[in-house]
Amino acid sequence: MVKQRGFVVISISSSNKISFDLIEGFFNRVTSGDLTNFTRQLATMANAGLPITESLLILRSESKGIMQKIVSQILADVEEGQSLSSGMSKHPTVFSRTYIALIKSGETGGVLEEVLVNLADNLEKTQEFKSKVKGALIYPIVIILGMVAVAFIMMIFVIPRMMTLYEQFDADLPLPTKILMFISTTLVKVWPLLIILFVVLAYLFKVYKDTPKGKRKIDEMIFKIPLIGDLQRQIVLTDLTRTMSLMVASGISIVETLKISGDVSKNQVITDAMIDVTSMVEKGFPMAFSFARQNDAFPLIFSQMVAVGEETGKMDEVLKKVSHVFEVQSETKLKAITAAIEPIILVVLGVGVAFLVIAVIMPIYTLTTKI
């Protein structure tokens, strides 16, 4: 087979090493923070009048890890005569279609410095907004995970030893203790199977989510979850409108803006709606009318503000204001959700602790009174 393909064997060696590509890919990857810093530094140097090649040379020396390799490759492409956008397009996992389209529009219009500044501002706002969301949700998530971990350890390792003590004294156990014993005994016997079942279900869920139909169905279900669904919709729309505003302000056509924004959206419901909107706009329908037809994906205020943008000719400013409205609403809703989750967690934790105390302490009290 090797000779038929025209290859020549230079050396043969056995390979028994374990591949760590997945682990290396996780730790050695370009984060949103890395991309934001790169864009801000490039914008600052471009505004200072430095040539792109010299700016990339400086960024290469200041970058680390995989980002340094990417900057080196872009620099080599630019030095060979390729455009900056062309060099970035070879790294789609780092630079999104929106990012590349904005850089290309800046190159075409001769306003690359201005586009880089706006892009850096947009990335910083997006990162700040995501940090607020993560920061607000991390406390309840940690508490819930802690509760589950403690309950699991209690049921598997602590409760069975307590139950052995009760059985030795042949104590008459109350109903809460019997319920706890049944749950603990069941978990001790089947907990390895539960872990395997959880892994299998998680894998099947991922496979289903990777299909277009599955992703659409899951995203629809997320939007229908009380409180959480509205928050998720506003977060997606905040990012969408901010991106559209930046692209329109950079001189990218409305149709191209709609196409790219729909492609980079992380929610399939929004993506499908954007495809329909793009199709209608291409046929000559107004943007406001096209968005109003997608009332399952976009709230009424969105189409109303787009209509204002069409009438005034200031679509980029209107979209920027809409993005700010969605951001404020999402932050308010996020605070309300976290404020509601905390007392609920405390109530559930209190009930759980009370149940364990009653189930464990009551038999001990019964034994001591008999003695």
State residue 76's pLDDT score: 92
Distance CA 156, CA 311 (A): 66
For Cα atoms 349, 343, 151, give the angle at the middle one, nearest 5 degrees. 15
- Note the pLDDT tens digit of each residue in 219-238: 888 888 887 888 888 888 88
The model's confidence at residue 169, banded by pLDDT at 50, 70 and 90, is low
Distance CA 326, CA 321 (A): 9
Fold for domain 21-95? Receptor-associated Protein (1.20.81)
Calculate what percentage of the chain has a pLDDT beyond 70: 89
State residue 308's pLDDT score: 92
The model's confidence at residue 22, banded by pLDDT at 50, 70 and 90, is very low
User: What average pLDDT score do residues 119-127 get?
Assistant: 86
State residue 17's pLDDT score: 42
Write down the residue that tokens 């107004």 correspond to: 286
Cα–chain center distance at 261: 16
- Note the pLDDT tens digit of each residue in 47-102: 888 888 999 999 988 888 888 899 999 999 999 988 898 999 899 888 888 888 88
Distance CA 214, CA 369 (A): 60
Is 254:287 a contact under the CB 8 Å cutoff? Answer: yes
Is 117:43 a contact under the CB 8 Å cutoff? Answer: yes
By CB atoms closer than 10 A (0-12, 13-18, 19+), residue 269 is: buried
Distance CA 241, CA 295 (A): 16
Q: At what angle do helices 212-224 and 175-210 cross, to 10 degrees?
A: 130
Is 123:36 a contact under the CB 8 Å cutoff? Answer: yes
**Domain 111-371 in the same topology as domain 21-95:** yes
- The answer to whether residue 2 scores a pLDDT higher than 70 is no
Within 8 A by CB and 6+ apart from 185, the residues are 160, 163
CATH code given to domain 111-371: 1.20.81.30
Half-sphere exposure of 344 (CA within 13 A, CB side): 9
Element (H, E) at 162: helix 159-168
Within 8 A by CB and 6+ apart from 96, the residues are 264
State residue 148's pLDDT score: 81
Distance CA 326, CA 230 (A): 11
User: What average pLDDT score do residues 169-176 get?
Assistant: 71
- Note the pLDDT tens digit of each residue in 99-112: 888 888 888 878 88
And the tokens for 299?
């709230």
Element (H, E) at 234: helix 228-249
Within 8 A by CB and 6+ apart from 42, the residues are 55, 56, 59, 116
And the tokens for 58?
């400086």
State residue 367's pLDDT score: 67
Q: What are the residue boundaries of the structural domains of the chain, listed by start?
A: 21-95, 111-371
